[in-house]
Amino acid sequence: MIDSTTQGARLLAGRYELGALIGRGGMSDVHIATDSRLGRRVAVKLLKSTLANDPVFRTRFRQEAQAAARMAHPTIVRVFDAGEETVSEPGGGETISPFIVMEHVEGRLLKDMIADGPLPPAEATRIIEGVLTALEYSHRAGVVHRDIKPGNIMITNAGQVKVMDFGIARAISDSSATVAQTSTILGTAQYFSPEQARGETVDARSDLYSTGVVLFEMLTGRAPFRGDSPVAVAYQHVSEAPVAPSALVPAVSPSLDAVVLHALAKDRFERFQTASDFRSDVAAAAAGQVPPKRTDPTTGFGATLFGVNPQATADTEAAMRQLSVDDDERRSRTQSRPPVAWIWSGIAVLAVVVIAVLFWAFNLERTQLAPSMSVSVPDVIGQQYEDGAQRLIDDDLTPNPFREASTEVPEGQILRTVPAAGVTVSHGQEVKVYVSTGPPAVAVPNVDRLSLPDAQAAIEAAGLKVGTITAENSPNIRKDIVIRTDPAVGTEVRGGDTITIVISSGLITVPDVRNLPIGDATAQLSPLQLQIRVQGNNGCTGGLVTNQSLAPGDQPQNSEITLTWCSGVAGGSTSETSEPENPGNG
């Protein structure tokens, strides 16, 4: 139990030394902390005590924290520990404070970046690709976030995207809290999916809707729906259509408009079905390409894109007209028309003309325009970044490096480019170059005091290799039990690195204590946990040890040793000791 009146020196769970407050939200406070056991900096999120009053929440919270802790991905903030702490209030009462111990990330929250204004489309798409990479990983692991918003997305100082708070929203929504209470806890309804606003079952596609809202906000600097209350905003998510981002920021391309509007489809079956599809379309739009149409292939070509005509969403009124017009208004109302045969003949002629024009334009681009106005992205995959970047520069392209962990590609080599090799782009266009940082960082697991087989299994399960195994004398650790590792437990290493194990030999090193005072001799031997027996010799004086039953050097643990020392009194037995072979002189 901890005392809430001593926040300056607060120790959580007997292990985490809380430091300064670095964040505050509607349902938690975040402190920087030090893990005294592993000696590393962490972030500790203390959830509001009001959440802990519900036993269903506490059970779900523990389960979700365990699920989040199993996820290890560069784009997800790691969860190291979770639990509950009993806090003594100044009035004498006690409350339960749930907490989560997370990876400490140096960087800036996305919501703070958006507060400075709209992000450039290239930066917005790069960040959203990182978010979708995290969701693709979590959805495959069966974990739905449920609370994707800029306040849960961190951009590190190196530009890496980190998504946090997996599982917390589910723990809240699965407790006995009402919908209104849940809205209050989450702080805002701006990122709700329509099914969340209706209180329906939530799945991975709800995360994709929320991600679409975040992308909209990054591109425009504001959320697609705003209102005086969370209920008003939730109603808009259910019933109103968003405007195209380009209506607010003209720099947004029609391709990005289409991607955002597709992600914000009201019907979950009409929006993106997987994070992978969403990420692919974002990458295509960022590269200046038209994303593939993912609607029913039998619908008319070119009429709408993802169910919404971007040209009809130039402003709010146009968007509402486009989405609210009924089928009767779309029908032609004229009563006089040519014979059916003429109509089909006209359509056939028009189709031939269109095909001929397209064929001519395609060949003109390849034969005349391409050499002077465009360039093909070279294949630099597998090259060192310096070499590949120079190749792109030589081809009049602008390389932009991004770091990404890989267990298969060595550090410094290029994983892929966006646009991909062979794609024709304009001169000077930026090419995203993803460079391997090698295997992802792995913390050396805690195998201290484990048996050698168990330690080897734990190290290999963490994606590391067992290296040299050496034995070392120890007075208190049994034979073949791990004393330590090199690197030490908790040290961040690369996946596949080799770990050296030091085990106990089951021996101790006995020093030579002869000719030492008996007190000094026992003091040296006591830490070795030997069974020490002392035997006095009245035949000599001085208090020095004259003999030890165990020879100096390596001896079995818990051995018995007998020390013989001079216990005689000076002047009383000196003559007997000095002349033992001449008793007659006495």
Instruction: List residues with catalytic annotation.
Output: 147
What the block records as the tokens of 510 is: 């006995």
Using CA atoms, how far apart are residues 242 and 320, in angstroms rounded to an integer?
Answer: 9
Helix (H) or strand (E) holding 261: helix 254-263
The answer to whether 512 and 521 have CB atoms below 8 angstroms apart is no
Cβ-in-10-Å burial (0-12, 13-18, 19+) of 352 comes to: exposed
Distances in whole angstroms, Cα of residue 208 to Cα of each of 124, 183, 221, 378? 15, 19, 19, 33
Two tokens, residue 335: 């009563």
- What one-character DSSP code corresponds to residue 53? G
Is residue 153 within 8 Å of 110, Cβ to Cβ?
yes
Collapsing DSSP to helix, strand or coil, 68 comes out as: helix
3-state DSSP assignment of residue 80: strand
Closest CA to 213 of 271, 155, 300: 271
Burial of 286 (0-12, 13-18, 19+ CB in 10 A): buried
Q: Are 465 and 485 in contact (CB under 8 A)?
A: no
Q: Do the Cβ atoms of 467 and 499 come closer than 8 Å? A: yes
List 556's β-bridge partners, or say none. 507
| Two structure tokens written together for 399 | 């390389």
From 359, 247, 388, select the one nearest 313 (Cα to Cα).
247
- Comparing CA positions, the residue from 376, 465, 477 lying closest to residue 426 is 376
Name the strands in the sheet holding 153-156, side by side, starting at the edge strand that comes first in the sequence.
107-109, 153-156, 161-163
Cβ-in-10-Å burial (0-12, 13-18, 19+) of 530 comes to buried
Residue type, 455: A
Question: Between the CA atoms of 350, 351, 355 and 358, what dihedral angle is there, to the nearest 10 degrees?
Answer: 60
Helical H runs in 340-436? 340-364, 370-373, 385-394
Structure-block tokens of residue 243:
């405007």
Q: Return d(Cα 280, Cα 323) in angstroms, integer.
A: 26
Contact status, residue 145 vs residue 232, Cβ threshold 8 Å: no
